[in-house]
Amino acid sequence: MEIQIHACVLLLVALASSSLMAAQSTNWSTALLIKVDQSGNGDFKKIQDAIDVVPSNNSDNVFILIKPGIYREKVVVDKPYITLSGLTSKTTIITGNAYGDIFGSATVSVLASDFVARSLTMENTHGAGSKAVALRVSADKAAFYGCKIMSYQDTLLDDTGRHYYNNSYIEGATDFICGDAASLFENCHLHSISKGNGAITAQRRESPSEDTGFSFLGCKITGVGSCFLGRPWGPYSRVVFSKTYMSGVVLPQGWDDWGDSSTHSTVYYGENQCYGAGAASSKRVTWSRRLSDAEAKPFLTMDMIGGQDWLKPTPTHFKRPSYIISKTAGGNK
């Protein structure tokens, strides 16, 4: 019996060591390329078909290139290490109009780790009146570059995990960046289409032990009416804006308490070196914070999301996956 247990332990150690070596030796500059083209000149005409062909236990860097077009489909990314990339966000659009359920309405749902989106528009065109998510991110280690994310209510359900948004445009009216992820938004454009007092953020941190929150660095806020910077979906909601241009659409009080004054002592709403007509501090609510550079720093680096360990470079070399070659050879596109 002892010999059998010892043998099992050795086997587990060997498997763990081989997995670690494989992870360390992964060359992220090379990716498996799958093409999606509505005209039929790719491997698939639908984005979801391209995702579905990837093995469920995928450990390869898979790059799904989506040719220009308007893709009317609900996309669910349920395999790890997948990149969805358009050529530009103006020409590659994933669109839907589902509404009602905050999780089920999403046009694009990211449910697996190590996801990347580049140069895509993800939109929900339902409009006012109900929850209508354009993008749901319910997975760890997801990054978005040069994307447009557009809806009216709950546009971006930044649900859980660590996320990075760079040079992206996010539009909505009511709580249009919401959830309980730990996310850094860098050089992003936030555009409020609220005609009244909508909120940009509704961060859902539930306890002081949660290492979550939304940080906005070097961003820009514009709009058509007036809006709050945020309101607390959770009692320990945490949001920081730094070096962000705030146009006059931002209401003078800055933040809303959602009708519950008990959250004044538990939320963490901070601003640091922001500028523009909407950044004036004289009428800000007393329970928000004007942060010094030292106080803001922990929220404004990749350390906040552990990005040094998982953000990957854009691949420069591509090869065809064996499972695509075999399907093409069999005439089954």
**Look-up: residue for tokens 């078909």?**
49
Instruction: Please tell me which residue in 154, 158, 180, 256 is annotated as part of the active site.
Output: 154
Enumerate the β-bridge partners of residue 111: none
175 is catalytic: yes
Instruction: Please tell me which residue in 158, 159, 175, 257 is annotated as part of the active site.
Output: 175
Enumerate the β-bridge partners of residue 63: 33, 83
Tell me the residue type at 292: S
| Tokens standing for residue 67 | 């040719």
Enumerate the β-bridge partners of residue 158: 137
**Look-up: residue for tokens 């420069």?**
316
H, E, C per residue of the chain: CHHHHHHHHHHHHHHHHHHHHHHHHCCCCEEEEEEECCCCCCCECCHHHHHHCCCCCCCCCEEEEECCEEEECCEEECCCCEEEECCCCCCEEEEECCCCCCCCCCCEEECCCCEEEECCEEEECCCCCCCCCCEEEECCCEEEECCEEECCECCEEEEECEEEEECCEEEECECCEEECCEEEEECCEEEECCCCEEEEEEECCCCCCCCCEEEEECCEEEECCEEEEECCCCCCCEEEEECCEECCCECCCCECCCCCHHHHHCCEEEEECCECHHHCCCCCCCCCEECCHHHHHHHCCHHHCCHHHCCCCCCCEEECCHHHHHHHHCCCC
| Tokens standing for residue 219 | 């961003």
The phi, psi pair for 8, rounded to 5°, reads: -65, -40
**Look-up: residue for tokens 């590659």?**
92
293 is catalytic: no
Tell me the residue type at 260: D
Residues acting as catalytic residues: 154, 175
